[in-house]
Copies of this chain bind each other. A is one copy, B any other.
């Protein structure tokens, strides 16, 4: 049986079980597990934050990780496609960095198996940060005495500045980007006043219509389902106007990476945490509002035409997934002793 058939079957089974699953709400953990070879330390997180905010590791000096994965916002840029160096557009909408630590795989097609692996990608992507190579990045970092000190603090005296260490530091920082204690979390933990009546109705409806089939678990990204990441076919139901209107079949999803037909239109299930902050929606950012996205999901994934009041209730519920953002101190980036990398 092909993997995606398994998943479709699983989804169908889930649909039958939603009432049972409905009680299975999980609050978001306040910390995320780190891989054994990259434990998070304060020094590593600090270095990672510096790198995350440094536009000088892009060819033009204009794009940092934060440009597209903006932590001041919902962890992305509220654009259909991000603008990289020279305002070049990517082909998919930037996923949020908030709570990305709870995703087993990264990128819409899950092509990176860890935050460490993901962190290396955009820096040398010609339409994102545009560096020629990580060697070039490392050469730049080596010219800034402040980075030498920060790498030593994070990785010990014998360590030098390397791509692997930079990626580890960025990943360690990203693992601190968690937004617990949303109204939903407070409700799940026992405070029954934390949600409005609308939101409770929306929560029940969310379970009842089948959204939890994929959007399960603490991060609403189904990641508890399989340790190697959870993919879903999108769109499943194609005999509706949304599919062509929003060009859902133009991408191909995981197929772009694997070239396996079984991966056609398979995507990592995105988290719904802070979803009210991350418009526009879907892998191609084609849907401008959350209410429209809810309608679309009902139709193309569950074959259900949700009424306006149902959409309103689910929207109200999803608003309750806006978490508490941790207080963060701004980084001050190392100087270059009166020089610049920009030609």
Contacts and interface: CB of A to CB of B under 8 A. Distances in A.
B338 A315 contact: yes
Contacts of A328: 329-330
A337 interface: yes
A61 B87 contact: no
A319 B342 contact: no
Contacts of A325: 332
A121 interface: no
A339 B290 CA distance: 7
A90 to B, nearest CB: 12
A35 interface: no
A71 interface: yes
A329 B329 contact: yes
A325 B332 CA distance: 7
* Chain A residues touching B, majority SS: loop
A331 interface: yes
Contact of A319 (B275, B329, B332, B337): B337
Interface string A149-168: 00000000000000000000
Contacts of A118: none
Nearest to A328: B330
A276 interface: yes
Interface of A: 53-56, 60-62, 67, 70-74, 77-80, 83, 85-87, 275-277, 279-280, 288-291, 293, 315, 318-319, 322, 325, 327-333, 335-342
